[in-house]
Amino acid sequence: MRIEIRHLKYFIAVAEECHFGRAAERLNISQPPLSQQIQALEVEVGARLLERNNRNVSLTQAGELFLKECYEIVDHLSQAAENAARAHRGELGNLKIGFTSSAPFISLVASSLFIFRQRYPLVHMQMREVNTKQQIEPLLEGKLDIGVMRNTRLPDTLTHQLLLREPLVAVLHQNHPLAASGREKLKFSDLANQPFVFFSREVGTALHDEILTLLKNAGITPYITQEVGEAMTIVGLVSAGLGVSILPASFTRIKVDGVCYRYLDEETAFTEVWLAYSKTRPLSAQATALINLMIAQP
C-alpha cells in the first residue's frame, strides 16, 4: 500500500472543509492535484471515502471510520517526532548515574539533581549507589552513563571533570579530649596515637587509599582498631566511643548523637569529587545536560 502521510493530511483537510477549493487553499496547493491525490487514496484504500457533487463534499461511512484513524495516525506521528526532538534535547529518556554514599550529602550534587528533576521531569534517573572503584567497570560497559566519584586512577578509556574539592574532617566523640579542647581545627598529628575507625581495604573505596596516603605522607601510620564497609558505620562506631576517624566534610550534615567534627588544618586535607564517563562512548543528551548543570553550579 502506497499511502503517505501527506495523503492523510490532504484527506483530513477535505473532510474538515467539506470543500475541495477551501481545502486546496488551506494546503497551499491547487485543486486539481488535490482531487487526483484523494482519488488515488481511495484506490489504495479500496473504498469510496467521499461523496461529491457540484456544491458539497461529505464523508461516506467508510470515510468517517478512515478519518478517525487518520487523526490517530497523524497525532501519533506528531507525538513521535516531538518525543524524538525532546530526547535529542535531553528532555526524555533514561540516565544511569553511579554515586558514592557521600554524594547525596554534597550540597552541589543534591541541588543539581533537584534542579535537573524540575527541568527534565520526563527523564528517568536510575541512581546506583556504589563506591568509586566499583563504578569503573559499569562505566566501561555502558551500564552507567555518569559516575559521581572520588579521585582515583582511571583506565585510559574513561575521563573525568573535576566537580569540587571537598575538605576532610576529623570525626570525634563529643567527649573526646580533642573535641573538648576547644580547638576548631586539628592536625593529622593529633590523631596519630588514637584508635582509628576506618574503611576495610577489601571494600575498595578510593577514600581508603587516599586518606592512608595523606597520613603516610605526614609520617603517620594510624592505629586502626575497627574496619568497616560504610561511612555511616564509621560515624556510628565513633558515636559509641570506639575511636576517631577522617571523612569528607559532606558527612558533617549527618547529625548523630555523641559525634562532632573538626576541620583539619592541613594543606593536603581535601578530596576531589569527579564526574567520570566514557571517552569512547558518546554522551547522551541527558548526561550532557546534567554534567553541564553540575559544572555550572556556584
For residue 264 the three cell numbers come to 583539619
Could you tell me which residues come within 8 angstroms of residue 259 by beta carbon, excluding any fewer than 6 positions away?
A: 171, 172, 173, 174, 235, 238, 239
> According to the model, what pLDDT value does residue 98 have?
96
Bridge partner list, 160: 276
CATH 3.40.190.10 fits 93-162+273-296, yes or no: yes
CATH superfamily of 165-271: Periplasmic binding protein-like II (3.40.190.10)
For the chain, residues classed under CATH 3.40.190.10 are 93-162+273-296, 165-271
The rounded distance, in Å, linking the Cα atoms of 108 and 164 is 9
For the chain, residues classed under CATH 1.10.10.10 are 5-89
Could you tell me which residues come within 8 angstroms of residue 228 by beta carbon, excluding any fewer than 6 positions away?
A: 197, 198, 199, 200, 234, 237
Q: What share of the chain is helix, strand, coil (3-state, %, to 5)?
A: 45, 25, 30
The rounded distance, in Å, linking the Cα atoms of 256 and 239 is 7
Low-confidence residues in the chain, pLDDT < 70: 1, 54, 90, 92, 204
The rounded distance, in Å, linking the Cα atoms of 7 and 34 is 9
CATH 1.10.10.10 fits 5-89, yes or no: yes
The rounded distance, in Å, linking the Cα atoms of 34 and 24 is 7
> According to the model, what pLDDT value does residue 82 have?
79
Chain center to CA of 103: 13
Prediction pTM value? 0.70
